[in-house]
Amino acid sequence: MAAIIAENLVRRFDAFTAVDGISFTVQPGEIFGFLGPNGSGKTVTIKMLCGILPLTGGAAQVDGIDVVRDPDSVRARIGYMSQKFALYDDLTVRENLRFYGMVYDIRGAALARRMEEIIARIHLEPFLGRQAGKLSGGWKQRLALGCALLHEPHILFLDEPTAGIDPVARRQLWDLLFEFSGHGMTFFVTTHYMDEAERCSHLAYIYYGRLIADGTPLSLRQLPDMTPAGTYRLEITTSEVTVALRRVRALPAVRSATIFGRSIHALIDATCPQQELARAIGDDGIRIEDLRPLAPSLEDVFVELSERRQRELAA
């Protein structure tokens, strides 16, 4: 049985269509990454799946239960961490946890045991008596995760759980997700970070209400035609990245160029050979260390898909 089945989900706000007939299936135990630009309908989709926003059209099953027919049962089986930090600032870490446990009707010894378990798994021990509002961003998110996990949900929805927290905290949070996922829990995660997308087992990309990609990170990167016809991708590693970037961008044949660390990723018209590029960067002290063809990254794929969709809409 699939963990989540969305069929032709539609959500309109008056005349505006925020989600326009999207379908996808998430298998149990997957970490499903849901990506898309700001305002493309990620949060709206999550709210529909969690049973807090009615569907305008379509159908959805979460953990085998119809969201429209029985939203209450859906709520009891899922966890949801909203995009905005939504715990009680004036309650301590322990009180927040206890409250969420009580809300799910866990009582007495069972609640105490479950709290200890979560506290140990998420390593919240040092902050138990601290008010949630006084935690740093990363610890707030960990606490939110703990609260969402207390009742052992089968599926956890996380709406941009790592927005605005530092790379170490981000990495730690993801490690936690992997740990829980290893125990069979399904995760539905939205993010704007490509490195996080790479860590998902299943990705979908929504572009202004339409789903335009669905697959594993590998399958998406290997999609045919992700490099536009008549162009090729090149990775240029050089000693003077910023100067080189300026010179590369000045070439009319270069469609786009971006810095990644000490190299430049460029999309170039096929009419312009590599040697011409090397010549343009010049020889006045700038050394080209490496020049090699590049497979499209996930980001490249999403940018390409978005532009294609944009052209379709314009046509």
Partner 1 sequence: MNPFTGFQAMAYKETLHAVRDRFALFAAFMMPLFQLVVLGYAVDTNVRQVPTVVFDQSGLSAGDGQSGNSETRAFIDRLGNSDTFHVYRHVRSDDEMNAEMIAGRARVAVKFPPEFARNLLRGQSAEVLVLVDGSDSAVAGQAVTVSGQIALDESLRRLLGEHAPHPIDVRPKIMFNPASRSPNFFLPGMIAILLVFVTTMLTAFSVVREKERGTLEQLIVTPVRPLALMLGKITPYFVLGLSEMCALLLFMNFVFQVPIHGNAPLLILLSTCYLFVNLTIGILISTKAASQAEAIQLAMMIILPSVFLSGYIFPRDNMPAIFYGLSFLIPATYMVNISRGVILRGAGAAELWLDALVLLALGVIVLLLAARRFRRMIL
- Find the part of the chain contacting partner 1 (CB under 8 A) among 95-103, 117-125, 164-172, 231-239: 95-103
Beta carbon nearer to partner 1, 51 or 296: 51
Buried b (16+ CB within 10 A) or exposed e, 262-280: ebbbbbbeeebeeeebeee
Cα separation, 254 vs 270, whole angstroms: 10
- Pull the structure tokens for residue 40: 């493309």
How many beta carbons lie within 10 A of that of residue 162, not counting itself? 24
Going by C-alpha positions, the residue among 126, 283, 119, 298 that lies closest to residue 217 is: 298
Q: Does 84 bind partner 1 (CB under 8 A)?
A: yes
Rg of the chain over all Cα atoms, to the nearest angstrom: 23
Cα separation, 258 vs 170, whole angstroms: 24
Q: Does 103 bind partner 1 (CB under 8 A)?
A: yes
* Angle CA 200–214–72, to nearest 5: 75
Q: Does 163 bind partner 1 (CB under 8 A)?
A: no
Q: Please report, as residue ranges, which positions from 7 to 66 form the binding site for ligand ATP (by CB under 6 A).
A: 13, 18, 36, 38-44
- Find the part of the chain contacting partner 1 (CB under 8 A) among 27-35, 48-56, 134-142, 270-278: 48-56
Beta carbon nearer to ligand ATP, 38 or 275: 38
> What minimum distance in Å lies between the beta carbon of 205 and Mg ion?
14
Beta carbon nearer to partner 1, 86 or 270: 86
Q: Does 87 bind partner 1 (CB under 8 A)?
A: yes
Going by C-alpha positions, the residue among 32, 63, 17, 25 that lies closest to residue 203 is: 32
> What minimum distance in Å lies between the beta carbon of 41 and Mg ion?
9
Cα separation, 154 vs 62, whole angstroms: 10
Sequence-separated (6 or more) residues with CB below 8 Å from residue 80: 46, 50, 148, 156, 157, 159
The residue from 40, 43, 82, 186 that contacts Mg ion (CB under 5 A) is: 43
> What minimum distance in Å lies between the beta carbon of 259 and ligand ATP?
24
Q: Does 297 bind Mg ion (CB under 5 A)?
A: no
- Find the part of the chain contacting partner 1 (CB under 8 A) among 26-34, 98-106, 117-125, 224-232: 98-106
Burial class (CB in 10 A: 0-12, 13-18, 19+), 124: buried
The residue from 82, 172, 186, 297 that contacts partner 1 (CB under 8 A) is: 82
Residues that bind partner 1 (CB under 8 A): 50-54, 72, 75-76, 78, 80, 82, 84-91, 95, 98-100, 102-105
| Binding residues for ligand ATP (CB under 6 A) | 13, 18, 36, 38-44, 83
